[in-house]
């Protein structure tokens, strides 16, 4: 549990005159669920974007499993075992559920375009193996067999969120970045999603470290091992969930939003 | 004597000492690896299980249950979805001499507790975490419950209660036990008698507490056989199992008819995929409540409104032709040659494709039971050449007692009694029936038993009458019948079902 898997060192990120991150340092340990909280505009999503490479921070380093990845392109980071989901679903809406998840599996395919065209021997074998992985480990696990061949854009929001998690898992990640996985879900869907995150984190099969950005405090307090709070691009607190929740600076940051801090659907 | 299978009619009488396990053993040994007993769609693929594999699982589970302390006559509760494991566990319970009690998956905690306590359940076989949770929650209050057996490992990693044991572990125990006592399984199967109780069914307790109907091996076997004497099935047929096992209709198809005919039982991937999986299998025989047929009809009506004008008029024309043919069929009159020709054309152009879309392309007999179906809805299926038949029966008579014959279908009736079954109407209009399949009585309820069973006649609590052709017309539950101020009595259900097609 104590081994550091992801280390952020003094990250700075500004857009014109707006400072989104003003020197954030964090350490995420292997095997934990680490949550980031903070009011709107605190810099949580920017931080995730810096980790998976959508943004390049102007200053500071991102170290993943001992290797500095701050300057790597996003697809290279994905190959190292970083996967993420988005606050506003970023699936291919015109494609089927299966095709979306297959896409997440793409980096594990070794056959190229030519092999795929001929489709004999290794290419065909690999396709069958990968399909089996998807059916066993993802479709069955996330209970989305019944929508396998449905077009993603036609599905209800809660199921789309689940498909997005499925695509991230298809990567077989070692670190999963989850940007507000509960946003827009009803109570039952929230419970399902929390169970999936716990399973991914705890099941021997997965053992994935999770970095979670979430507003639903009930969920954050229930499932996180450690929590950090951001405000105006600065880390204002870090520690076990209860300690962060009762930290005076955190309450201060949410001042006027006290309702929000304790907002939960239970 | 050939026992089912091979498409031959089963012999007319069932030996009194024949039990379900004994028949199962004969059928499984006869088919071995040559025939598929069941299929389950899992991970998107249909996976076959042959009769030999079915027998092996049942043997291991039977011995495992005996090793865990199951003795003859013990009650075993089962809770779960339609999966091969559910059927294995039920068959293993019967093989070990136990009595299977299926509970509906959505049973509330209070009901589960009442049934587990009332039936003196010792073993609970639960599919997954949800069912295990129910079992653990009532365990304190049901001291007789000794073991909870679970099957699906999802979410079960933190469960450490010593009464829990996995289904695979039970099979492993059974294999060990079988190695030490290789004849034990055959002995257990041979020990039973047809008059022993095999199933205990709790009827829904909408009024008061649920009552447990006790059914013997002989009840189940005679019922299945008499039904197959009307509509034979062969070992080549497919059946899709998707209604709850806790419903007698599913038991009568999967257990009674399934063993006699030896057809393949197919289990869909999940409740959401039933219609899709159903179409992939295209079964020859199906039995469902009215709801599924209504759902099919609705989907056709909706899609027809969305179709192009050409398709819409083709559909309407074909339905008009099919409808007239169906009316003549119901009236048992020969259609004129020109109408028959049009009928062939309509079938080729429209009905064939419609049946394929609904998964009914190979259907030989489709049964509907449970609640009344409107005559217009019934006519719709016959118009597109689906041989839909009404059946009537209740748990207390092991499933069904009355059934339409293929050449004698009337949309207003539920048909004629199956062989070995007598039906008559009492002075008060109650439907009474008598057959070898009539149950033993209600568990621990002599009062209700005395009310339902009088001189061997089963008093159904339903009102109806027999028409001039000997068809039974089912009105409604007697207690639902309402009298007008002038004394005229009418059945709301009878009227409602006749208005279902009205917009």
CB A105 within 8 A of CB A170: yes
Residue B273 C-alpha, separation from nearest chain A C-alpha, in angstroms: 5
Alpha-carbon span B422 to B462, nearest angstrom? 16
Residue A201 C-alpha, separation from nearest chain B C-alpha, in angstroms: 12
- Kindly determine whether residue B270 and residue A145, on different chains, have CB atoms separated by under 8 Å: yes
Q: Which residues of chain B have pLDDT under 50?
A: 1-10
Per-residue model confidence (pLDDT) at position B170: 97
Nearest chain B residue to A141 by CA: give it. B154
Helix ranges, B8-165 (H): 20-31, 51-67, 84-95, 109-118, 129-139
> Model confidence over A196-237: pLDDT tens digits?
999 999 988 899 999 999 988 889 999 999 999 999 899 999
Alpha-carbon span B7 to B260, nearest angstrom? 10
- Provide the percentage of residues in chain A whose pLDDT is more than 90: 67
Question: For residue B413, which of B328, B330, B496, B295 has the smallest C-alpha distance?
Answer: B330
Q: Where are the beta strands (DSSP E) in A43-156?
A: 59-64, 67-68, 82-85
CB A48 within 8 A of CB A90: no
> Model confidence over A8-40: pLDDT tens digits?
999 999 998 889 999 999 999 999 999 999 888
**A135 interfacial to chain B (CB closer than 8 Å):** yes
Per-residue model confidence (pLDDT) at position A259: 52
Nearest chain A residue to B274 by CA: give it. A146
Nearest chain B residue to A199 by CA: give it. B155
Give Cα separations from A197 to A32, A146, A217, B273 (angstroms): 11, 21, 15, 25
Per-residue model confidence (pLDDT) at position B406: 92
- The kind and range of the H/E element at B463 are strand B457-466
Retrieve residue A127's tokens.
């396709």
Confidence (pTM): 0.86
- Mean pLDDT in residue range A47-67: 92
- Mean pLDDT in residue range A135-162: 93
- Kindly determine whether residue A146 and residue B157, on different chains, have CB atoms separated by under 8 Å: no
CB A209 within 8 A of CB A31: yes
- Minimal Cβ distance to A148: which of B44, B154, B157: B44
pLDDT at residue A182 tops 60: yes
- Kindly determine whether residue B44 and residue A139, on different chains, have CB atoms separated by under 8 Å: yes
Q: Count A/B contacts: CB-CB distance under 8 Å.
A: 25
**A199 interfacial to chain B (CB closer than 8 Å):** yes
Average pLDDT of the residues of chain A = 89
Q: How sure is the predictor about A4, in pLDDT bands with cuts at 50, 70 and 90?
A: very high
**A146 interfacial to chain B (CB closer than 8 Å):** yes
Q: Check if the interface score ipTM surpasses 0.90.
A: no
CB B35 within 8 A of CB B19: no
How long, in residues, is chain A? 266
> Model confidence over A238-266: pLDDT tens digits?
999 999 988 888 888 876 555 554 555 54
Substitution target in B43, B158, B275 with the highest count of A β-carbons within 10 Å is B43
Chain B environment of A132 (Cβ under 8 Å):
43
Chain A environment of B130 (Cβ under 8 Å):
none
> Which residues are within 8 A (CB) of B65 and not within 5 positions of it... i.e. 6 or more apart?
B76, B92, B93, B96, B98, B123, B170, B174
Interface of B with A (CB under 8 A): 42-45, 154-155, 157, 269-270, 272-273, 276
pLDDT at residue A162 tops 90: yes
**A136 interfacial to chain B (CB closer than 8 Å):** yes
Per-residue model confidence (pLDDT) at position B3: 37
Retrieve residue B158's tokens.
């933190």
Question: For residue A14, which of A76, A60, A52 has the smallest C-alpha distance?
Answer: A60
- Minimal Cβ distance to A136: which of B43, B154, B272: B43
**A249 interfacial to chain B (CB closer than 8 Å):** no
Retrieve residue B2's tokens.
């050939």
Phi first, then psi, for residue B62 (nearest 5°) are -60, -50
- Kindly determine whether residue A145 and residue B269, on different chains, have CB atoms separated by under 8 Å: yes
- Minimal Cβ distance to B43: which of A140, A146, A199: A140
Per-residue model confidence (pLDDT) at position B502: 61
Per-residue model confidence (pLDDT) at position A264: 53
Question: For residue A45, which of A7, A8, A86 has the smallest C-alpha distance?
Answer: A86
- Kindly determine whether residue B272 and residue A199, on different chains, have CB atoms separated by under 8 Å: no
């Amino acid at each position: 549990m104590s081994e550091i898997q992801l280390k952020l060192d003094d990250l700075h990120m500004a857009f014109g005159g707006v400072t989104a991150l003003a020197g954030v340092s964090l350490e995420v340990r292997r095997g934990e669920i680490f949550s980031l909280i903070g009011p709107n505009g605190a810099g949580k999503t920017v931080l995730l974007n810096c980790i998976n490479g959508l943004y390049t921070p102007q200053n500071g380093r991102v170290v993943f499993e001992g290797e500095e990845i701050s300057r790597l392109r996003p697809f290279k980071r994905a190959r190292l075992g970083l996967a993420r989901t988005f606050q506003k679903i970023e699936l291919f809406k015109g494609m089927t559920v299966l095709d979306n998840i297959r896409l997440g599996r793409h980096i594990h395919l070794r056959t190229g375009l030519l092999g795929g065209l001929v489709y004999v021997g290794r290419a065909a074998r690999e396709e069958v193996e990968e399909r089996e992985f998807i059916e066993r480990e993802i479709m069955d696990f996330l209970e989305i067999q019944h929508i396998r061949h449905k077009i993603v854009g036609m599905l209800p929001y809660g199921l789309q969120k689940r498909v997005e998690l499925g695509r991230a898992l298809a990567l077989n990640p070692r670190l999963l970045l989850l940007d507000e996985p509960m946003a827009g879900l009803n109570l039952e869907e929230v419970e399902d999603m929390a169970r999936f995150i716990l399973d991914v984190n705890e099941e021997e099969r997965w053992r994935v470290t999770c970095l979670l950005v979430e507003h639903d405090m009930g969920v954050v307090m229930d499932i996180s091992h450690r929590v950090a709070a951001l405000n105006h691009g600065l880390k204002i607190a870090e520690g076990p969930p209860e300690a962060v929740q009762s930290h005076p600076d955190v309450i201060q940051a949410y001042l006027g939003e006290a309702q929000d801090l304790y907002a939960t659907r239970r | 004597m050939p026992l089912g299978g091979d498409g031959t009619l089963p012999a007319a009488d069932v030996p009194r000492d024949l039990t379900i396990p004994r028949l199962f053993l004969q059928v499984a040994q006869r088919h071995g690896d040559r025939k598929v007993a069941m299929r389950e769609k899992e991970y998107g693929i249909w996976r076959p299980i042959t009769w030999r594999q079915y027998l092996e699982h049942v043997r291991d589970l039977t011995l495992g249950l005996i090793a865990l302390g199951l003795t003859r006559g013990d009650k075993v509760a089962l809770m779960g979805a339609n999966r091969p494991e559910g059927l294995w566990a039920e068959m293993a319970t019967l093989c070990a001499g136990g009595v299977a009690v299926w509970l509906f998956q959505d049973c509330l905690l209070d009901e589960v507790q009442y049934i587990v306590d009332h039936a003196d359940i010792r073993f609970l076989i639960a599919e997954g975490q949800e069912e295990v949770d129910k079992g653990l929650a009532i365990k304190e209050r049901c001291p007789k419950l000794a073991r909870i057996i679970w099957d699906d490992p999802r979410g079960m990693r933190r469960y450490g209660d010593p009464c829990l044991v996995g289904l695979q572990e039970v099979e492993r125990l059974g294999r060990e036990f079988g190695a030490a006592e290789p004849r034990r399984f055959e002995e257990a199967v041979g020990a039973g008698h047809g008059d022993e109780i095999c199933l205990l069914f709790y009827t829904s307790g909408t009024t008061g507490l649920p009552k447990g109907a006790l059914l013997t091996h002989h009840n189940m076997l005679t019922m299945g056989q008499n039904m197959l004497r009307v509509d034979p099935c062969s070992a080549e047929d497919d059946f899709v199992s998707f209604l709850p096992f806790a419903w007698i209709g599913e038991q009568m198809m999967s257990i009674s008819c399934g063993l006699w005919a030896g057809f393949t039982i197919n289990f869909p991937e999940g409740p959401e995929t039933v219609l899709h999986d159903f179409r992939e299998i295209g079964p020859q025989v199906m039995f469902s409540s009215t709801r599924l047929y209504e759902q099919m009809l609705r989907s056709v009506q909706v899609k027809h409104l969305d179709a192009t004008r050409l398709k819409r008029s083709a559909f309407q024309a074909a339905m008009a032709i099919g409808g007239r043919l169906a009316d003549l069929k119901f009236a048992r009159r020969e259609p004129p040659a020109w109408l028959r020709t049009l009928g062939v054309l309509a079938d080729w152009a429209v009905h064939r494709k419609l049946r394929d879309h609904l998964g009914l392309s190979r259907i030989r007999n489709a049964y509907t039971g449970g609640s009344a179906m409107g005559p217009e809805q019934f006519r719709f299926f016959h118009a597109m050449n689906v041989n839909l038949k009404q059946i009537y029966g209740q748990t207390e008579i092991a499933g069904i007692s009355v059934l339409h014959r293929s050449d004698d279908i009337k949309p207003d009736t539920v048909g004629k009694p199956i062989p070995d079954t007598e039906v008559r109407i009492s002075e008060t209009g109650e439907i009474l029936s008598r057959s070898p399949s009539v149950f033993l009585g209600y568990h621990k309820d002599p009062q209700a038993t005395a009310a339902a069973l009088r001189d061997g006649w089963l008093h159904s609590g339903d009102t109806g009458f027999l028409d001039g052709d000997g068809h039974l017309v089912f009105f409604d539950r007697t207690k639902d019948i309402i009298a007008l101020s002038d004394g005229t009595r009418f059945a709301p259900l009878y009227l409602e079902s006749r208005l279902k097609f009205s917009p």
